[in-house]
Amino acid sequence: MNKLLETISLRLLRYLPAEIAHSTTIKMLKLGFASSKDLRASDFSETISNIFELRFRNPIGLAAGFDKDGEVFDQLAQIGPGFVEAGTLTLKPQIGNPRPRVFRLSSDNAVINRLGFNNKGIMDGLQRLSKRKDKSVVLGVNIGINKNTQTPVEDYVECLTLLRNIADYVTVNVSSPNTPGLRSFQQVEKLEELLNTLITASMNHNDANRPLPLLLKIAPDLKNEEINEIVDVAVSSGISGIIISNTTLSRPGNLLDAKRGEAGGLSGAPLFELSTQKLAQTFLAAKQRIPIIGVGGVDSAETAYTKVKAGASLIQLYTALIYKGPRLFTEINKGLSEALKNDNIEHISEAVGIEADYWASKEV
């Protein structure tokens, strides 16, 4: 896709309602609109990382929520991410919450969504993802629970078991604000039971003859004391890593867009400071015992580098793609490489957490 066509496409998509624009984007990807070689990222030795015993060609990933049903993994792999997290997938298909349920806050470079885990179910996603061709990009799969399930722990286990020969890692989503009761699994007692059960299930080796890495995704609305408790439970359980954060129910006072009062989780630029503060708190609580993926408001090399210095070994983004387009992965990875060289840092791992104390104490 040349730059002119890319610019025109982005502008046209913004005239469509947000959810229709998203489904149109998926269709465009299927048709090969992102197959141009100039969108593919170069590998830089200073940003290639080995995390969770997996090789990440660069540390910038696509967060869950974009490719909910694992429809376009190979197409997304061509635009430069080091990893793509499909989902959220639930055991059974579900339609999610009533529309409209996604709202662009264009004045704030943000989005509010209350989708409610709309997806075609784990079996449908597995059929698609099992056919992936590009193994140079790490595949993560985000799993959640159906709204009306009576057996949430068992559902998580079944999803995990089904994925063990397909996914490179699996993320347990207990932090979406749009499924009633889901965030209660961040409570220590419930979380401990869930993670211990899942870790036992994950010890069944996949075809690569290695334990399947299991990650936990938490909310930015947690108090620091809660984060400390969650990290201790996560580390004790043997989990591989933590993703911080999901969307927030809070609303910064400086939001400009008229749709700022819509119910749901807020993502994008206004989430950056809060999610980065919580990232730093998580990093300090983890004491380098497990790696952390930083998510929330990343839209440039500068914001990505800030996440790294606050404690992220890997970074994810999503909302910024809506506003800045598919070149973002390549631009951020190149900019990260340049920033590390400017700071005389040989490898990105040396920058992880160097400003964690500052961000953990920052008022947001």
Catalytic positions: 176
Are 340 and 301 in contact by the 8 Å Cβ rule? The answer is: no
Q: Which two tokens stand for residue 265?
A: 């989780």
Give one DSSP letter per residue of 289-324, joined into a string.
Answer: SS-EEEESS--SHHHHHHHHHHT-SEEEE-HHHHHH
Length of the chain: 364
Query: Can you list the alpha helix ranges (DSSP code H) found in 88-134?
Result: 122-129
Tokens of 7: 């610019």
Provide the angle, in degrees to the nearest 10, between the axes of the packed helices 152-163 and 188-202: 30
Q: In 3D, which of 292, 344, 334, 360 has the Cα closest to residue 40?
A: 334
List the beta strands (DSSP E) in the chain: 49-51, 54-56, 60-62, 83-89, 102-105, 110-113, 138-143, 169-173, 214-218, 241-244, 265-268, 292-295, 314-317
Torsion angle of C-alpha atoms 336, 348, 311, 209, degrees rounded to 10: 120
3-state secondary structure of 64: coil
**For 128-135, which contacts have Cβ atoms below 8 Å and span 24 or more sequence positions?**
128/69, 128/70, 128/71, 128/73, 129/70, 129/73, 129/86, 129/166, 129/167, 130/166, 132/73, 132/74, 133/74, 134/73, 134/74, 134/77, 134/78
Helix, strand, coil % over all residues of the chain, rounded to 5: 40, 15, 40
Which residues have a Cβ under 8 Å from the Cβ of 22 and sit 6 or more positions away? Answer: 66, 102
Q: Reading across the β-sheet that carries 265-268, which strands appear in turn? A: 102-105, 110-113, 265-268
